[in-house]
Structures are given as C-alpha cells and as structure tokens.
Amino acid sequence: MPPPESPFVGDWNLTRITYGLTQKSVTPAEAGYTESLSFLNGKYRQTRNGIPVQTSDYSAVYPGSSSSEGLIYFRADSTQQSFRLAGSKLILSERGPRGAVIADGSTYEYSR
C-alpha cells in the first residue's frame, strides 16, 4: 500500500521571501522572478519565470504529532527542506544537505 499523499500536494506560487539575516521580506516582483512548485504523487517540480528548473522524487516526514510541519527529502540531489503549513500558506525553509541545519536561512512563502 503506498504512503498517504502529503498535505501540501498541489500547485503553489511564491508570494514572499524573507531573508534570514536581515529579516527583510520581498515579493517575487521585488526579487525579480516568479516561481511555482508542484507536489503530486511523490513527484516535485520547480518552475522559475515559467521555465522548469528542477524535478525530483520526494518524500515527507513528520517528526511531531502534526502533519502541518515536517521535512521534505528530495531524491535528485539528496537535500532536505523543512515545511510548515499555516492556513492556505506553505512556508519552506532554505534547502540544504540532508542532516544539516542552516542557521539564519531564508524562508519562502507560497500560496495556492
């Protein structure tokens, strides 16, 4: 039996970037690019300015008792990214190597 689908399944569009050290928030227009993510059936796709930039198989783990927070593991490059669902927002941390903790990394906020 396959594992249940992640709670963030679907398409997401970047709405805000908050830089780690300065905590300055910018919109995609201010950052100079648009970005969308798609999570479906264990497949991930990232598109920037309408051009696909990365695809990968992914899996999610939920270390706590809630499925609204956890880690996404990307098979293509052996990286991980923490996530948090807050209402209709998906908030992702800076992506990094598996097992690493990135201090003062940026966060990326997406909406459906």
pLDDT of residue 25: 97
Per-residue tokens: 45 = 């796709």
Per-residue tokens: 78 = 């052996």
Q: Quickly state the pLDDT bin for 2 (edges 50, 70, 90).
A: very low
**Three-state secondary structure call for residue 62:** coil
Residue 21, Cβ density class (10 Å: 0-12 exposed, 13-18 middle, ≥19 buried) = exposed
pLDDT digits (tens, 9 = 90+) for 10-23: 999 999 999 988 99
Amino acid at 2: P
pLDDT digits (tens, 9 = 90+) for 46-92: 999 999 999 999 999 998 888 899 999 999 999 999 999 998 999 99
Which candidate, 65, 72, 54, places its Cα nearest to that of 9? 72
End-to-end CA separation in angstroms for the chain:
28
